[in-house]
Amino acid sequence: MNYFSSDFKLGILGGGQLGKMLLAETRKFDIQTYVLDPSDEAPCKIACNHFVQGSLMDFETVYNFGKQVDVLTFEIELVNLEALEKLENEGKKVYPSPKTLKLIQNKGIQKEFYIQNNIPTAPFEKFESLENLKSKIQNLKLPFIWKCTEFGYDGTGVKVVRAISDLENLPNVECIAEEMIAFKNELAVIVVRNVSGEVKTYPVVEMEFHPEANQVEYVICPARIDDKIAQKAQEIALQVSKKFNHVGLLAVEMFQTQNDEILVNEVAPRPHNSGHHTIEASYTSQFENHLRATLNLPLGNCDSKVAGIMVNLVGEENFSGPVVYENIEKIMAINGVTPHIYGKKETRPFRKMGHVTIVNEDMKIARKIAEEVKNSIRVISTK
């Protein structure tokens, strides 16, 4: 099929920053794109050929959107599965498949899938509601991690429960209680697989988290770990990818325990925060490879050209309103520093507004500059 400068239409469900960065690649190749998003101010709106405003959870909206395109992919998992299943049954190409998405969308089902497929993961218990969990609290060992099984993102829907009082004000929804793992490192491996089954992995990255917001502060590539551990992480990621039988990207987040076991935490079947550094640091970015995979083109080289660190730009606490990137000129004056602004007009505390990539031949220098960037730039508002 001729995808380039033709009538071919790629549909993307979700118009956020991941879609916007994917559209940089579709524009590079002159591939026609349709985007569906509920917000009239979605970051993707400025970069696609055709923008449709509508709910990603509404059956008719997603189904009718899918009918207009040749291949359908997504940049967010929270989409109407029934519509995708109907489209696929009618012969529409949907990647990753709704069958894969069904196993991932609900965290309880995702965790059970790991157990069934002998994939190492932290012990957990599933509860139909918060009330049900509370009634069995005497059987649970504190502290544990509470996760709602659906609709959680960017640190919402996850809470460390150290005392029973921590369960107050949590929503009364289906949830899991997961054993808290004493880990040395949080790692991630992105696996890319095309329709024909060609598979590649990106180097293992290490994630440093914000202690309060439960969001990644730094993504460091390559991870500062032993080669044997890195190899083990990549092997497990490939095993997970094979079992899910996905097409496109699969980001596999993992824990490296104190005794160097690798446990799978969760996965995302789309471009992911842990791969943003690939735009500057890799031969082929995660976004280009997601596109190559879903269109069944040969996969690009996943190796890094240089050490890369990504810093998330999130809204400062106590600031809400029209966004201002304070000191952005200051960080742009530093060698190897590239900011990415997502196009969200309004900032809120901890809202993801952009990221900055730092590349350097020397990882130690890159990490030092990352700290400088983090301490310099502030995402605030005019109000």
Binding residues for ATP, by number, are: 107, 147, 178-181, 186, 265-266
The one-letter amino acid at 284: T
Report CA dihedral (233, 235, 239, 242) to the nearest 10 degrees.
Answer: 120
DSSP assignments along 29-63, one per residue: TT-EEEEEES-TT-GGGGTSSEEEE--SS-HHHHH
Interacting residues of 293 by C-beta distance below 8 A, sequence separation 6+: 95, 192, 193, 194, 195, 247, 248, 249, 299
Residues 6+ apart with CB under 8 A from 231: none
d(CA 79, CA 87): 13
Bond before 38 cis per omega within 30 degrees: no
Give the 3-state secondary structure of residue 334: coil
Q: How far apart are CA 218 and CA 341, in angstroms?
A: 17
Residue 364 makes CB contacts below 8 A (sequence gap 6+) with none
Taking Cα atoms as reference points, which of 308, 338, 344, 313 lies closest to residue 326?
Answer: 313
Report the C-alpha gap between 32 and 51 in whole angstroms.
Answer: 11
Task: Map 201-214 to HEC letters.
Answer: ECCCEEEEECCCCC
Q: State the binding site.
A: 107, 147, 178-181, 186, 265-266
